[in-house]
Amino acid sequence: MMTRSAEQSLALARNGERLSDAEALALLDIATPQALSEAAEALCLAGHGHAITYSKKVFIPLTKLCRDVCHYCTFAHPPRDGTPAFLSEDEVLEIARAGADAGCNEALFTLGDKPELRYRAAREALDAMGFATTLDYLEQAARRVIEETGLLPHLNPGLMDEDTMRRLRRVSVSQGIMLESASERLCEPGGPHYGSPDKAPKARLETIAAAGRAGVPFTTGILIGIGETRRERIETLLAIRALHEQYGHIQEVIVQNFRAKPGTRMSAAAEPALDEQVWTIAVARLMFGPQMNIQSPPNLRPEGLAPLVRAGLNDWGVSRP
């Protein structure tokens, strides 16, 4: 049975009023997602109607080297014999042109965070191409894509300062970084972010703030099911909301569910139940109101698409044609 404060918070959110931090945290007393979902769906319909958006993107994995060692990641890997550290510019353009031919309109650059700080192979490859850093090479690659293919680059290169974001803004329509969690606890020994300096919440929050100061349209979000509590999820969403209210630059908030993958340190970890994802999407909608874009990747929860929509989701994010 929900508490009086939870009832009040739900009523305020249902009416489209902004929840204070304390009122958002009161939603913790609503353990099951049904009441949250009903209110969140009404808010979503008020802000977005019945339309659910998506974007046709082509993925351009500029480099799979990364200085971090996230315990659930299957994208990054250390240097491998016979595998170049970076895609060449010709390879980047080949992928982009194939995407354009297939009907894509965006080029999503995915890459590890500053691999040259960890791997000599990355440093040597950058030097051979005439670039000092991965971000310098990213700028050149994105420029060529937008100029030679017409695709619109979206960049996810990890931590950046304000000057770099301003520079990259000239060759991209948007940028992003997943906050994942504002919990420092997850960075401690045994946690999923231990050994990954670029996952430090303060550093990620500063990157999101730098994007705001630079006026960069920005995507961020949370990752659920990696050992965080529901309270920590709300605290993470509150941190994102505070920066958006200060700068107005967050274009969408992603609620992504952890999936255990073979070959990772968390391959045997329990995945979050559908109800946990529904609960979190609904809370995000109630906290951010009717206008914010709330997104969740459909490929990570194909069996639960309808409940995610009913929880207040209005965007699927990436779609391959």
Please tell me whether residues 58 and 31 are part of one structural domain: no
Please tell me whether residues 205 and 146 are part of one structural domain: no
Among residues 157, 190, 222, the one where a domain terminates is 157
Please tell me whether residues 47 and 69 are part of one structural domain: no
Please tell me whether residues 252 and 308 are part of one structural domain: yes
Please tell me whether residues 289 and 303 are part of one structural domain: yes
Please tell me whether residues 40 and 74 are part of one structural domain: no
Among residues 101, 127, 157, the one where a domain terminates is 157
Q: Is there a domain that residue 30 lies in? A: yes
Q: Is there a domain that residue 7 lies in? A: no
Q: Is there a domain that residue 171 lies in? A: no
Please tell me whether residues 183 and 269 are part of one structural domain: yes
Please tell me whether residues 41 and 143 are part of one structural domain: no
Q: Is there a domain that residue 166 lies in? A: no
Count of structural domains within the chain: 2
Please tell me whether residues 299 and 183 are part of one structural domain: yes
> Which structural domain, as residue segments, surrounds residue 100?
52-157
Per-residue confidence of the chain (321 residues) as pLDDT tens digits? Answer: 678 799 999 999 999 999 999 999 999 999 899 999 999 999 999 999 999 999 999 999 999 999 988 888 888 888 898 899 999 999 999 999 999 999 999 999 999 999 999 999 999 999 999 999 999 999 999 999 999 999 999 999 999 999 999 999 999 999 999 999 999 999 999 899 988 888 999 999 999 999 999 999 999 999 999 999 999 999 999 999 999 999 999 999 999 999 998 988 899 999 999 999 999 999 999 999 999 999 999 999 999 999 999 999 999 986 433
Distance from the Cα of residue 287 to its chain's centroid = 18
Q: Is there a domain that residue 8 lies in? A: no
Please tell me whether residues 39 and 109 are part of one structural domain: no
* Domain at 223, CATH number: 3.20.20.70
**Which pLDDT value is given to residue 265?**
86
Please tell me whether residues 293 and 187 are part of one structural domain: yes
Please tell me whether residues 229 and 191 are part of one structural domain: yes
Q: Is there a domain that residue 147 lies in? A: yes
